[in-house]
Amino acid sequence: MRHAIGIVTLSAALIGTFAWLGAYFHELSGAASYDVTSWRGAAQQTAQVSPEAGRELWNGRGACMACHSIGAEGVGIRGPNLGVLPPDFMEPLAVRADTIQEGKTAVEHMVQALYDPDAYVGPGFEAGVMNPVNGPPTVLSDREIRSLLLFLFQRSGLAATPELEAEIIEAQRAYSTEMAAEAAEAEASEVPVEEPAEGDATAGRAHFERLACGACHADGESGEEPTAEAGAALPALAGEAVGVELLLSIARHAVEPETPQEEPRAYGATLTVQESWDLAAFLVEAAQAEDAPEEADAAQAEDTPEEAVAPDAPEEPDAPEEPDAPEASSAPEETAP
């Protein structure tokens, strides 16, 4: 009877011990307080990104020391040593990881090792032993993974600089479900840009008159001069085509109120995109119409040949000079007998 009671007592003690150990490791892994079915549950438990936070993850919820050591620190041997430990690990992690995979930097290799451990398995180690750290049971967020990497690289002699963190973030984009979800949400929330049709100059003329633009600006067709110093002739501003500068000029244009109680009218807030294009098309058409007569006159001047000059008539030869008539000889004087 005593023997049976002893066996029962021992069995209860063993069951209680294993239950306590199971609860302890369950809490250590983070599964007790994190929603392992969603990365959002882990992302809500974010902390400041720093090597110090990474050290806490290494020794705590990340449970990294269960399988890894850093040099002579730790007893984990199921995974590679992440420090210097001769004869197998002769170089610091930051140096060693830079040459493990051709075409990958140390940062890219380490990021891959945490998100996709089986993508590269070093000699002497087995695949399927390590789970991705952003999944169960650890469920680390992207920020926590950055802290962990900053800690490991700092132990390798690298300073935890903003440049190093930026390099880690860039490498994370290929694996992070958080970043992919954020990008999808941003894309879904984007407001589609209204693509206007080609501007309608006829509708633009109606807007020009409705907005009373002619009160300060001449439209170029009426021939009237601007009635205000600030109102330049709009065709001169329009140029030869509807461009960004013209559209921005219309959108930003504000008319001073007639009374102090009124607010200035900004056409960008009163005109739709299409109406702005219509008004711009009218201004360009007006500018082209204003330039057309001058261009036609210039073209006509180029096409008109110079007045033909009649060739000089050949000079008539001078008439031959008539020989001088011989002078009459004087009669001989008569001699008296």
Residue 111: its H or E element:
helix 106-115
Domain boundaries, the chain: 38-186, 201-299
Q: pLDDT by residue (tens digit) across 117-159?
A: 999 999 999 999 999 999 999 999 999 999 999 999 999 999 9
**Tokens (6 digits) for 103:** 């075409």
Distances (CA, A) of 163 to 108, 143, 158, 159, 291: 14, 15, 11, 10, 57
| Mean pLDDT to the nearest integer, 42-50 | 62
Residue 163: its H or E element:
helix 162-172
Confidence category of residue 43, pLDDT binned at 50, 70, 90: very low
Distances (CA, A) of 274 to 4, 73, 213, 223, 242: 92, 69, 18, 27, 12
Round to whole Å and give the CA distance between 219 and 232.
10
In 3D space, the residue among 136, 275, 134, 142 whose CA is nearest the CA of residue 211 turns out to be 275
| Mean pLDDT to the nearest integer, 58-72 | 92
Least trusted range by pLDDT, from 35-44, 119-128, 264-273: 35-44
**Which one is the CATH code of 38-186: 1.20.1090.10, 3.65.10.10, 3.30.70.1230, 1.10.760.10?**
1.10.760.10
With tokens 């109102």, the residue in question is 231
**Tokens (6 digits) for 163:** 């440049």
201-299 carries CATH number 1.10.760? yes
Q: What separation, in Å, do the N-terminal and C-terminal C-alpha atoms of the chain show?
A: 225
pLDDT beyond 90 at 230: no
- Strands (E) across 75-150 are located at none
Q: What pLDDT is attached to residue 198?
A: 74
Confidence category of residue 277, pLDDT binned at 50, 70, 90: confident
Q: Which of 10-14, 38-42, 115-119 has the highest mean pLDDT?
A: 115-119
| Mean pLDDT to the nearest integer, 70-74 | 92
Establish whether domains 38-186 and 201-299 are of one fold: yes
Strand partners, 254: 266
Longest CA span, the chain: 225
| Mean pLDDT to the nearest integer, 189-205 | 70
268: phi then psi, degrees, rounded to nearest 5? -65, -25
**pTM of structure:** 0.47
In 3D space, the residue among 53, 140, 158 whose CA is nearest the CA of residue 98 turns out to be 158
Q: pLDDT by residue (tens digit) across 154-183?
A: 999 999 999 999 999 999 999 998 888 888
